[in-house]
Amino acid sequence: MTLSLAQVAKDRGIKYFLISYTDLFGHQRAKLVPASAIEGMQSAGAGFAGFATWLDMTPADPDLFAKPDPASFIQLPWKPEVGWLAADLWMGGQPVAHAPRNVLKTQIARAAELGYQMKTGVECEFFLIQPDGSAIADAADTQAKPCYDQQALMRRYEVITEICDAMQALGWGPYQNDHEDANGQFEMNWLYDDALITADRHAFFKYMVKSIAEKHGLRATFMPKPFLHLTGNGCHMHVSLWKEAKNVFADAERPDGLSPVGLNFIGGLIHSADGLAAFLNPTVNSYKRISAPRTTSGATWSPNSVTWTGNNRTHMVRVPEGDRFELRLADGATNPYLMPAAVLAAGLEGLRSNRDPGPRLDINMYTDGHTVPDAKKLPLNLLDALRALDASEPLKAALGEVVPAYLKLKHAEWNDYARHLTQWERETTLDC
């Protein structure tokens, strides 16, 4: 039986609902709906002009309707009179095929046809910075190796604990919070779950962190590389595949603990990695994080090659334990829905095609990567990643309409970037 949002409003004291969707660029869009109108909105959806956000639409298109998913309901812990709802996009009586949440639900349904359920967890790194974005907010946070710095962590106790307390109240199961590898950078972890649940929580987490930071006079950013000399914001994704309540990645009989299913799934990611980068590293700035020079802490902690390993953080895919793998490619700008959709699509293709991930490499790729000359390299910029996605038959076949829509808008973004003249160009070329 579908949950009545009108009844939820009465039971929880909700005055307003945020009916929210995430567009192709990862931006969250919403209508603020009074509880008195939510019953109609639950059935018909909230109306939007699709072209006004980053979707492949025109001003001539009919109304876009965001139908809220009652299962995604979250009562804002810092403003309990407001409820948040993830929404699915419809137009002309049909789901919008290239809308990110719909794309993920389509991949989940395809996995279910094979009896599989993907479960994911995400590690969302972010900086707390000054409101104008010019520098980190904590002037005392200056260590060359600030990771896990106790003093810097506790100077942000009020912000971090308010966010963690909110996750506790929402039942997410947060289990640790830390100061990360860059000055001013933090990470907060909560328990893994079904891919759609995690994607909804990922989207809400970004909104929550930014909102609570603003409440404390700060600004939070998930930008991949906001400061060139510091480690960038990653979004490491932990992935496992389940069938009939059993983790099918786990195989204790094998040396690395990973089953043939797990290896083939990773093989799919290895095969499609350069095209995946277009979704997992979706901005011009993303490529200042991957394949970057070492930072002041001594390492970027991001991959530079398409390789996999055991418990070793210098590769794209890390297998810390045989029941899951960690994909270290994505950054903070990744779309919470397109990331798992693309990963699931590539992984399922790996299963269908019996993809071999290649040899497990137990070397430090930062120092010894040159000893593996045939290792495929990640794209050097967004344009290369977009071209790789356009050339990826497995991803285009699996993901359907979202690929041309995404490529169209992202190529326009790249062209806009290319039209800008930088100070570096003037300084190095003016006297040519």
What is the pLDDT, as a whole number, of residue 292?
81
Rounded CA-CA distance 241/239 in Å is 7
**pLDDT at residue 140 greater than cutoff 90:** yes
pLDDT band at 2 (very low <50, low <70, confident <90, very high): confident
**pLDDT at residue 252 greater than cutoff 80:** no
pLDDT tens-digit profile of 91-125? 999 999 999 999 999 999 999 999 999 999 999 99
Rounded CA-CA distance 319/286 in Å is 24
Q: How many C-beta atoms surround the C-beta of residue 364 within 10 A?
A: 14
pLDDT tens-digit profile of 363-392? 999 999 999 999 999 999 999 999 999 999
Please give the mean pLDDT across all residues of the chain.
96
**pLDDT at residue 322 greater than cutoff 90:** no
Residue 215: C-alpha distances to residues 3, 158, 191, 203, 367 (Å): 31, 11, 26, 19, 43
Contact call for residues 399 and 389 (beta carbons, < 8 A): no
**pLDDT at residue 287 greater than cutoff 80:** yes
Amino acid sitting at position 229: H
What is the pLDDT, as a whole number, of residue 1?
63
User: What tokens were used for 119?
Assistant: 């479960």
**pLDDT at residue 244 greater than cutoff 90:** yes
User: What tokens were used for 92?
Assistant: 């002309």
- 259-265 long-range contacts (CB < 8 A, ≥24 apart) are 259/322, 261/351, 262/322, 262/325, 263/356, 263/357, 264/350, 264/351, 264/353, 264/354, 264/355, 264/356, 264/357, 265/239, 265/241, 265/347, 265/348, 265/350, 265/351
